[in-house]
Amino acid sequence: MKIYINGKFCEKENAKVSVFDHGLLYGDGVFEGIRSYNRRVFKLKEHIDRLFESAQSIILKIPMSKEQIIKATIDTLKANKLDNAYIRLIVTRGEGDLGLDVGKCYKGATIIIIADRIALYPEKLYREGLTIVTVPTVRNLPEALNPQIKSLNYLNNILAKIEASNAGYDEAIMLDSLGYVAECTGDNIFVVKDGHLYTPPQCMGTLRGITRDSILEIARKNKVGAHEHVITRHEVYISDECFLTGTAAEIIPVVKVDGRIIGNGKPGKLTLSLTKKFKELTLKDGVKY
């Protein structure tokens, strides 16, 4: 496996960054998770735009243009001869002295691109559906660390994931500080009620997921009512269908929430038809390499 680090490719065993990198010391940096299907990178522009927005928000200068990052991503896919891949793009504040002052990172940002395969959940869960549980850890407050920033500090989500696992569930529902449903630990959440689709708006605790936006677009194109609306736990419990979306997870059905069976306890009809349409889109859309 060839890993891209600051303009050079190295083998996995040699792909190392300094212990003084502020990405490690402080979680100071940003990232994207991107997928390619059949030699096409899905929503590449959207991911690169979001990477630069995350960087802008934390005043991190990426020492490459968007076009250069896109080329480096494609080069990494080609170097690894991967037709279908999960791409992890990481930009850290870089190597520096100890201390929070970003001025100590005298070498500039570290840019890493990994292209590999990924299976976020076992295959069985895509067929049978996930069980999810509301956890005590609430999603980061936007006025503290805005969830729109895909920062290298994922402790908020990791704690929620641990709580879900400890409770014997596959995934966690994280609430925002007002008690509304925000998202899961690495996925957005959707519910279906009376043929309409609902997902939380991007304010408060919800990342504006790129898969989420694709699903909203597919639904609207197919004349399904698709709404970005605050959702309470009650509305999840009484939904006809529920599913999660994310680049890594793609679309995965949910069949049990906080002990309540959703619908008939099986992946829902609209969930399955949106999954099919999403798969079709991934095969014909995207930047060819």
Q: Which residues bind ligand PXG (CB under 6 A)?
A: 33, 88, 157, 183, 186-188, 207, 209-212, 245-248
Kindly state the smallest distance separating residue 88's Cβ from ligand PXG, in Å.
5
The helix or strand, by DSSP H or E, that contains position 255, with its residue range, turns out to be strand 250-257
Kindly state the smallest distance separating residue 20's Cβ from ligand PXG, in Å.
23
Q: What is the DSSP letter of 229?
A: -
Kindly state the smallest distance separating residue 7's Cβ from ligand PXG, in Å.
22
The sign of the dihedral angle between the CA atoms of 274, 278, 280, 285 is positive
Distance CA 53, CA 59 (A): 10
In the set 2, 43, 150, 161, the catalytic residue is: 150
Kindly state the smallest distance separating residue 99's Cβ from ligand PXG, in Å.
28
| Cβ closest to ligand PXG, residue 60 vs residue 252 | 252
Given a contact cutoff of 8 angstroms between Cβ atoms, the answer to whether 86 and 34 are in contact is: yes
Q: Give whole-number Cα distances, 42 to 47, 151, 214, in Å.
A: 9, 21, 10
Neighbour-count burial of 91, counting CB atoms closer than 10 A to its CB (0-12 exposed, 13-18 middle, 19+ buried): buried
Relative orientation angle of helices 44-57 and 210-221, to the nearest 10 degrees: 130
Kindly state the smallest distance separating residue 264's Cβ from ligand PXG, in Å.
27
| Cβ closest to ligand PXG, residue 110 vs residue 188 | 188
**Residues near 276 by beta carbon (within 8 Å), at least 6 away in sequence:** none
Residue with CB nearest ligand PXG?
186
Neighbour-count burial of 265, counting CB atoms closer than 10 A to its CB (0-12 exposed, 13-18 middle, 19+ buried): exposed
| Cβ closest to ligand PXG, residue 96 vs residue 111 | 111
| Cβ closest to ligand PXG, residue 28 vs residue 187 | 187
* Catalytic residue check, 150: yes
**Residues near 279 by beta carbon (within 8 Å), at least 6 away in sequence:** none
Given a contact cutoff of 8 angstroms between Cβ atoms, the answer to whether 278 and 215 are in contact is: yes
Catalytic residues: 150
